[in-house]
Structure 1
């Protein structure tokens, strides 16, 4: 607080404004002179009326009156001077102490005059300044705590971003490998699709050939049935020919017997039966030739019957084999139809796999592009984190500097 002593005179003058204080000696002097003049004028007025009262002022009275007025003026001037100068010096000393950082000093007085208002304003300002310094000091401490939290968070964030960048790089590498594998798989799937398409075409050709083979086997079976029927007819005809040959053989034997009897009778007749003997000889020769021809025809007929029987047996076996082949061909056709359906499904699945591979490849490419964007954003975030760290360091330096600057003031204000 203040070390100035405030007396009754100071308290008196502290309630008078500065302009009035400055004008007060002059006002007193003017009032004294005016009073002196009025006294003289009054005395002169009385004399001019012939009044017997002696009111004229003697020189001694005027001197005494002047001394009183001058003394009063000196008293006022000295009082004002003793009131103003100590106050000014006290205000200057207080402000110098404040300038040196001793914020516990105050003006310590107030009043209606300018010095009282200055003292009140300065004390209020110093109180607000101390409160502001305390608030700033608390804010600096909070700022330091926040900067430490920012440092910890930014370090963790920087580590996380760097880890994320590394993970994104690894993920991008893995997706690139997957893309290469999918590209190879797409090529393999395309080759497999081409091979499957070729095999499908071959299956279709085999199916067509199998269908044609089925038709041919069925036609062969019909022809074999007709051949079997023809062989049976041939066998029947051969049997009939054999029967006819038996009849011819019997007739030939009887003719030969008749020719022999005729030759015997012609020999008995002698010369008369010679011509009949010639005819009988010719008939006998014809009968023998007929028997020889019939014997050959019988041999041929037997061979024909045996051949026809063997042909019928072979045709029957062939017909059975053809029927079995027809059944196998039919089952093979059904199996080929099932295989074709299954392979067409496999072909469709392979096409779907190929299309899925292409779509997956496109998705991988899109994912790589998205990862590149995310990686760039992560790098930007890392740069921003570095900027935050640098800004934090600058903020720490500023807060430390501000704390160092406010520490003496805070100690003085708290002291």
Structure 2
């Protein structure tokens, strides 16, 4: 790693020199590309670089992980093998201890020693069972790699020989308390088979260790390759970024700084600086738009300069016209105010006439009502006079009856007097009575004649009164008709007066509105005059502002839209 790191600076310097020579001719060609295309190319290269470096690093890291996992499995196998050796040794030691304990117990008759010997046998049996299970697993999972399989089979064979020739005979001899056979097997076949088994264990362990070392070296190599790939990827990414910075500096950053300078000139009012930069990328579009903007600004400034004088002249004329219009509007407002006052007085007079006409109408209605009541009263008097005349006729008839009765009574009294005279002395009293009756009859007849004369005179007077009352009734009816005509005429006069009042009120309202509108127009005219004065001032200010722009009509750039449309 130290050699790689020390060689990086010189390699990077050499690559920079080569890249500066190789990329310098291509910068001009790259300046014709769109910035978006250039960025997409660089992003694509960086993405491919990331994918390549990431994939390569992931592959080697995966291989390294597989190697480490294999080392871990081999380590587990090695530990298992060593554990087998330990278990076999512990089982043999336990058997040796059990034999010694049994021998000592047989001499001393010590139950504790017997118990210790039994425990040692149990321990040896447990260890042997674990060894048998482990070797059963080894037999069922025999490796496929030839060398490892050969070593595993040799270990299984040495184990089986060790078990058959060494351990099992020792266990059988210990069970029968055949200590001589036990020690003979232990020191003979036991030592020989144990040495062979130990050799196979060490041989397999050495193979596992050598394999682990190889896998570890392979994992370290793969890790170094992955680190180298990552470093090279970072270096290539750095080179791409540097190249991108150089290309962007030539195609975008420097032109943008120059565009800022042009914008400063335009902001300061200098529109005479020519814009000569041209390119097919987005910056070229910006410069094309800036040229069009400068051209438009030049045209606008020239147009504004030409229009400022016209605005100033027009504003002066507007100001003078508004001043004249303001004075005329004020005169018109004064005249409308006088007209409104006159109409107000006329409206007051018309309202008073309307009120008087209404009162006269009420009085005419009342007079018509009284005349109608008088006519009705005269009619009643006529009816009463007719009834009196009829009653006078009846009284005359009664008086005629009374006169007839008096005449007949007089005749009867005369006849009674004649008869009394014939009777002589006997009829004197009757003659006196008859004379009195005749006298009464004559007076009754005389009174009846007088009453009849009075009644006839009364009837004549009643007829005359009836005729006069009828004539008065006719006159009153004519008065009623005349009063009704006057009432109708007064109602029409009152309605006309009310309509005239309403019309004058509307005229007064319209004149008041006209007065308000004229007053508002006067205010607006004053505001317009003030605005015209302000417009004149603003036009002068605008002329001063426009005069700060430097424009030469010969420098206006005539640019085609083709450059603008080629990127759209």
Short-chain TM bin = 0.3 to 0.5
Higher relative contact order (CA 8 A, sep 6+): 1
